[in-house]
Amino acid sequence: MDEILEILTNDARVTPEEIAGLTGKSVAAVKKAIKQYEKDGVIVKYKTLINQDLARDTSKFVRALIEVSVSPQKDVGFDKIAERIYNFPEVKSCYLVSGAYDFLVEVEGESIHTVSNFIASKLSPMESVQSTSTHFLLKKFKEDGQILAKGSEEKRLKISI
């Protein structure tokens, strides 16, 4: 990966001037490269990573990972099915994966009931969907390479002789 992209992946707030200093490139060259990455769709969005456990009342928020098995459609494969799935507002991420199922879908809702209702009324009835398996997220420890949960300090007493 290009070093400019690596720097921005780690911290999107780094300025072109700082990137130029880190890479030895001119500020103009860095700005031009970033603008081209944005135009080409390489850089899709700048994002802030938020520890949701600290930012909101987690008793009123549920996130689930749903494994989805589908029958691919003739001549379009998985793309049309993925498009139908990822266009639901409840869906935060949708991945085509290898293994026992075809898609891994991340969904958010206000409660277990709203997530299960999404699965029962919107996702499962889709023509190509064969089966789903839902895993509710209980706690996030690390996301996008960042540790969210700080380790607890050692509570045992030290023994000296």
What pLDDT shows up at residue 63?
A: 92
Phi, psi (deg, nearest 5) at residue 73 = -85, 145
Cα–Cα distance between 92 and 63 in angstroms, integer?
Answer: 9
Collapsed DSSP state (helix, strand, coil) of residue 139? coil
Q: How far apart are CA 38 and CA 31, in angstroms?
A: 11
Average pLDDT over residues 108-112: 92
Number of domains in the chain: 2
Is residue 23, in this structure, part of any structural domain at all? yes
Q: What is the pLDDT of residue 153?
A: 53
Question: Do residue 125 and residue 93 come from a single domain?
Answer: yes
Whether 35 and 58 map to the same domain: the answer is: no
Q: Full-prediction pTM beyond 0.85?
A: no
Q: Tens digit of pLDDT for each residue in 5-60?
A: 999 988 899 999 999 999 999 999 999 999 999 999 999 989 887 777 777 665 66
Structural domain span for residue 110: 52-139
CATH number at residue 104: 3.30.70.920
- Is 99 part of a structural domain of the chain? yes
- 14 shares its domain with 79: no
**Does any domain span residue 46?**
no
